[in-house]
């Protein structure tokens, strides 16, 4: 018999506030998304870092080819183990010996795990010099350790190799 006109007015006002709030949330989200897209592709984005040592001499470079036989990887030991997450990893340990007569300022070592079918199952690049040791003096040696993560649990391993991949020599 009696109708309450105040309830209808409050209901309309509530719906209006909810619609305006939802539109504001959508607009703020779209603005944030657009800002992220334009900032990420602009000149202010961080450059992609190259893997390996800067200025390292690598295979094909005459200085590398001349000196690679004078940098020895001795007392090599390879084994596998489980890391803290229970995943399988390979380790290579040994010593790097400098027979070049020059100070070595950078060494890149490439470790590979090879499966029974000859495929490379996992690989890693390590830089014991300068990351762990500052340099290797002429006639000196340093220990190294290369950890190769991502070795498949069920794969049968055939071989593990370690190669000198890059070299930075001082004067």
Asked whether residue 73 falls in the same domain as residue 2, the answer is: no
Tokens 């900032």 correspond to what residue? 39
Closest CA to 107 of 81, 63, 156, 68: 68
Question: What tokens does 13 get?
Answer: 């006002």
pLDDT greater than 80 at residue 19: yes
Same domain membership, residue 155 and residue 87: yes
pLDDT value for 31: 83
Q: What is the DSSP letter of 132?
A: T
| pTM for this predicted structure | 0.66
Peptide bond connecting 153 to the previous residue in cis, omega within 30 degrees of 0: no
Asked whether residue 43 falls in the same domain as residue 63, the answer is no
In the numeric block, the tokens 């998304």 are attached to: 33
Would you place residue 42 in the very low, low, confident or very high pLDDT band (cuts 50, 70, 90)? very low
In the chain, the N- to C-terminal Cα span, in Å, equals: 103
Q: Are 37 and 74 found together in one domain?
A: no
At 71-111, the pLDDT tens digits run: 999 999 999 999 888 899 999 999 999 999 999 999 999 99
């Amino acid at each position: 018999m009696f109708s309450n006109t105040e309830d209808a007015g409050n209901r309309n006002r509530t719906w209006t506030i909810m619609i305006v709030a939802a539109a504001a949330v959508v607009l703020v989200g779209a603005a944030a998304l657009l800002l992220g897209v334009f900032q990420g592709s602009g000149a202010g984005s961080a450059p992609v870092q190259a893997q390996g040592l800067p200025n390292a001499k690598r295979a094909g470079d005459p200085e590398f080819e001349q000196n690679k036989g004078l940098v020895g990887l001795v007392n090599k030991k390879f084994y596998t183990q489980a890391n803290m997450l229970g995943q399988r990893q390979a380790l290579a340990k040994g010593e790097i010996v400098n027979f070049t007569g020059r100070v070595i300022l950078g060494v890149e070592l490439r470790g590979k795990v090879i499966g029974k079918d000859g495929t490379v199952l996992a690989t890693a690049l390590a830089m014991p010099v300068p990351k762990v040791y500052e340099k290797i003096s002429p006639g000196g040696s340093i220990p190294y350790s290369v950890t190769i993560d991502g070795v498949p649990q069920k794969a049968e391993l055939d071989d593990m190799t370690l190669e000198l991949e890059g070299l930075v020599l001082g004067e």
